């Protein structure tokens, strides 16, 4: 415990919580008050912490995610007991699957009433057990002093993830006299390797040195461990091409000549074909997710696997590994680099060149100004490398992953593991709050935006520099596409019967709304909106029958992809 020179002062649990959060450096918290967390809000009244009143608790969770994903820091959200807590569950589950460090603090009915079906009581601890990295039900005020810094430590250490702290109302009101409070938790990356680990680092280098056809296969873990730069260096010195998963986008710039794009379900043909020929996969911060690997048995069948990951549980989970290193990726690569020999690998790079020429990623004609791929690429040309893009979930998400030039880590925020419609807008609000000097754009669909559209009100409150571009196809597009391709065109529940006027809705909430007309140039309208400050909702009508291609059919190998030629 660090002495912070406090006189012994008396405070209640809620005041103690807020002091502890201030000491962790928390500047902004999103949430909604209610009966079971009102003492916490009362303590917040005196605090320097800024509060964002959202209109649905799920958005509070995703705002915290947007803050955290864009900065790498732990972010906090609040919800009351019962429905407040259940509303925030989706954002917590989403953070777990994408390894995002957030701390969700929920109010609970008084401890003496827990288990009695009291008003607004749900078992938040039980509900969040399988979807958190860790969770706490705080039983008395003394526990709080240690639980809060511990929650931050758990959220950010090792493989990051969400932590829930459920605080009963009577604990919030209990009093305590304290003179010392814990200081800010600082995450220190372990860099002590035993002889066994050093031997394996050497073996990994040998495997890389003798490989004729190596590929880096990198994911979100690379971004979490800030390892992009060192991967770029090794790749350049030894001519090793780099492929990303959806979560790895931004770890390497698309302008890098050795970058071969996103692999998997919607990867370019040449990327998936090239991966298939690898004799060594240097897998970094990935989890061999089926969207990336396709049919796992047929994924890179001739490749030996080196797997480097912070989470031991990922090793050999889905694919047998020939050599694994468990730890933070960046320091492990720093140890590995001196042993890796320079190599021109000209044959391998020639194969890449040929495949790329023969099976490139095919963009639509530039005359097709309303095609989402052209618009997304065009927005990428307008925005700077540091600006931030978020997506919702559906076709527009995959088009964004294919065409948006993500040049830096933490600038492309998307719900990868859970694939949650409704993620985009609140995540963008969180990113905008943490990065007030950057432009933020959310690519959404007419289905997804309606899942958290109430947050237009939060946009009106905060006036962030945030634009939402809605690709409006009148459908749940990705569902329609699956029905067309894999369910015999049995279109059910994928076409909307009515279609709201999103620009009018935006104006109804007090923010600017723009509807792009067929005779207009969509990118010119968007460019003008992007040059103006403040929030704006831009509705772009797009063709319903457009598909995301290529696509790997469910259960098939990546090289069995359809379309995109
Ligand atoms: C909360 C949630 N419910 C259902 C789904 C299943 N789902 C995946 S994509 C999709 C359609 C998304 O439609 P829209 O947001 O309009 O985007 P589009 O595919 O048309 O670009 C649906 C329903 C989901 N991912 N998340």
Residues 6+ apart with CB under 8 A from 524: none
Angle at 215 between CA 214 and CA 221, to 5 degrees: 135
Give the ligand 1 atom nearest the CA of 448: 15
pLDDT digits (tens, 9 = 90+) for 129-163: 999 999 999 999 999 999 999 999 999 999 999 99
Supply 557's token pair: 């190998």
Q: Mark 466-478 as b/e (b = at least 16 C-beta within 10 Å).
A: bbbbbbbbbbbbb
pLDDT digits (tens, 9 = 90+) for 388-422: 999 999 999 999 999 999 999 999 999 999 999 99
User: Which of these, 447, 446, 426, 430, lies nearest to 438 by C-alpha position?
Assistant: 430
Whether the pLDDT of residue 438 is over 80: the answer is yes
Predicted pLDDT at 267: 97
Distance 533 CA to ligand 1 centre (A): 29
DSSP codes joined into one string, 445-503:
ETTGGGGSGGGHHHHHHH--SEEEEEEE-SB-HHHHHHHHHHSTT---S-B-SS---HH
Residues 6+ apart with CB under 8 A from 87: 56, 57, 58, 79
Whether the pLDDT of residue 117 is over 50: the answer is yes
Give the ligand 1 atom nearest the CA of 481: 19
pLDDT digits (tens, 9 = 90+) for 254-263: 999 999 999 9
Distance 493 CA to ligand 1 centre (A): 12
Whether the pLDDT of residue 71 is over 50: the answer is yes
CA distance 170 to 547: 54
Distance 351 CA to ligand 1 centre (A): 37
pLDDT classification of 186: cutoffs 50, 70, 90? confident
Predicted pLDDT at 448: 98
206 near 282, Cβ under 8 Å? no
Predicted pLDDT at 5: 56
- The single residue listed with the structure tokens 């990726």 is 329
Residues 6+ apart with CB under 8 A from 88: 57, 58, 60, 61, 77, 79, 104, 106
- The three-state secondary structure class of 215 is strand
Predicted pLDDT at 558: 97
Number of other CB atoms surrounding residue 289 within 10 Å: 18
Supply 193's token pair: 């390797």
pLDDT digits (tens, 9 = 90+) for 459-508: 999 999 999 999 999 999 999 999 999 999 999 999 999 999 999 999 99
Handedness of CA 88, 92, 98, 102 (dihedral sign): positive
Pairing of strands 9-12, 175-178: antiparallel
- Phi–psi pair at 130, nearest 5 degrees: -80, -5
Name the residue of 421, 422, 452, 554 to mutate for ligand 1: max ligand atoms within 8 A of Cβ. 421
Predicted pLDDT at 286: 98
What pTM did the predictor assign?
0.97
Distance 448 CA to ligand 1 centre (A): 6
pLDDT classification of 194: cutoffs 50, 70, 90? confident
506 near 513, Cβ under 8 Å? yes
Name the residue of 402, 415, 447, 492 to mutate for ligand 1: max ligand atoms within 8 A of Cβ. 447
Give the ligand 1 atom nearest the CA of 451: 1
As a three-state string, the secondary structure of 109-156 is CCHHHCCCCCCCCCCHHHHHHHHCCEEEECCCHHHHHHHHHHHHHHHH
Predicted pLDDT at 180: 85
Handedness of CA 512, 518, 519, 525 (dihedral sign): positive
Whether the pLDDT of residue 3 is over 80: the answer is no
Average pLDDT, the chain: 96
Whether the pLDDT of residue 6 is over 70: the answer is no
Whether the pLDDT of residue 557 is over 60: the answer is yes
Task: Determine the distance from the C-alpha atom of residue 411 to the mean position of all C-alpha atoms in its chain, rounded to a whole number.
Answer: 10
Give the ligand 1 atom nearest the CA of 419: 25
Whether the pLDDT of residue 8 is over 80: the answer is yes
Whether the pLDDT of residue 1 is over 60: the answer is no
Distance 400 CA to ligand 1 centre (A): 14
- Pocket around ligand 1 at a 6 A CB cut-off: 392-396, 419-422, 445-448, 471, 473, 475-479
Predicted pLDDT at 189: 78
Predicted pLDDT at 553: 97
pLDDT digits (tens, 9 = 90+) for 204-241: 999 999 999 999 999 999 999 999 999 999 999 999 99
pLDDT (average), residues 82-90:
98
């Amino acid at each position: 415990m660090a002495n912070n020179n406090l006189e012994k002062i008396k405070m209640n649990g809620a005041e103690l919580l807020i002091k502890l959060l201030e000491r962790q450096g928390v500047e902004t918290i999103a949430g909604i008050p209610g009966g079971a967390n009102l003492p916490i809000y009362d303590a917040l009244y005196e605090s320097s912490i800024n509060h964002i009143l959202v209109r649905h608790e799920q958005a509070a969770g995703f705002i915290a995610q947007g803050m955290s994903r864009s900065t790498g820091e732990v972010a906090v959200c609040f919800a009351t007991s019962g429905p407040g807590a259940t509303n925030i569950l989706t954002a917590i589950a989403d953070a777990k699957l994408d390894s995002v460090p957030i701390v969700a603090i929920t109010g609970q009915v008084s401890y003496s009433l827990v288990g009695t079906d009291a008003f607004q009581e749900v078992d938040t601890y039980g509900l969040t057990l399988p979807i958190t990295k860790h969770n706490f039900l705080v039983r008395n005020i003394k526990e709080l002093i240690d639980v809060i810094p511990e929650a931050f430590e758990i959220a950010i250490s090792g493989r990051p993830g969400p932590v829930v702290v459920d605080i009963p109302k009577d604990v919030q009101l209990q009093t305590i006299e304290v003179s010392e409070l814990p200081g800010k938790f600082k995450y220190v990356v372990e860099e002590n390797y035993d002889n066994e680990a050093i031997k394996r680092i050497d073996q990994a280098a040998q495997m890389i040195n003798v490989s004729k056809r190596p590929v880096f296969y990198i994911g979100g873990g690379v971004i979490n461990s800030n390892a992009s730069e060192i991967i770029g260096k090794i790749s350049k010195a030894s001519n090793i091409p780099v492929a990303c998963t959806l979560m790895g986008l931004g770890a390497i710039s698309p302008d890098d000549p050795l970058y071969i794009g996103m692999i998997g379900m919607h990867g370019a043909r040449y990327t998936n074909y090239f991966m298939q020929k690898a004799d060594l996969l240097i897998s970094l911060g990935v989890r061999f997710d089926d969207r990336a690997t396709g049919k796992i048995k047929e994924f890179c069948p001739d490749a030996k696997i080196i797997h480097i990951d912070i989470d031991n549980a990922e090793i050999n989970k889905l694919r047998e590994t020939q050599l694994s290193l468990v730890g933070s990726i960046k320091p492990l690569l720093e140890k590995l680099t001196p042993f890796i020999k320079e190599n021109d690998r000209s044959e391998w790079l020639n194969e890449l060149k040929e495949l790329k020429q023969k099976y490139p990623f095919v963009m639509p004609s530039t005359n097709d100004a309303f095609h989402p791929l052209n618009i997304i690429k065009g927005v990428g040309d307008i925005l700077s490398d540091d600006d931030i893009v978020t997506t919702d979930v559906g076709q527009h998400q995959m088009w964004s992953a294919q065409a948006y030039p993500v040049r830096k880590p933490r600038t492309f925020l998307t719900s990868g593991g859970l694939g949650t419609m409704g993620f985009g807008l609140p995540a963008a609000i969180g990113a905008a709050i943490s990065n007030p000097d950057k432009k933020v754009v959310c690519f959404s669909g007419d289905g997804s935006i309606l899942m958290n559209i109430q947050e237009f009100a939060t946009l009106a409150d905060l006036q962030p520099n945030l634009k939402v571009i809605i690709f409006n196809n009148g459908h749940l597009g990705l569902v329609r596409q699956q029905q067309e391709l894999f369910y015999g065109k049995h279109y059910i529940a994928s076409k909307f019967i009515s279609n709201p006027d999103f620009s009018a809705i935006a104006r109804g909430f007090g923010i600017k709304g723009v509807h792009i007309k067929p005779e207009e140039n969509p990118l010119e309208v968007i460019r003008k909106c992007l040059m103006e400050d403040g929030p704006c909702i831009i509705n772009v009508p797009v063709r319903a029958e457009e598909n995301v291609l290529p696509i790997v059919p469910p259960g098939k190998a990546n090289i069995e992809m359809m379309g995109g030629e």
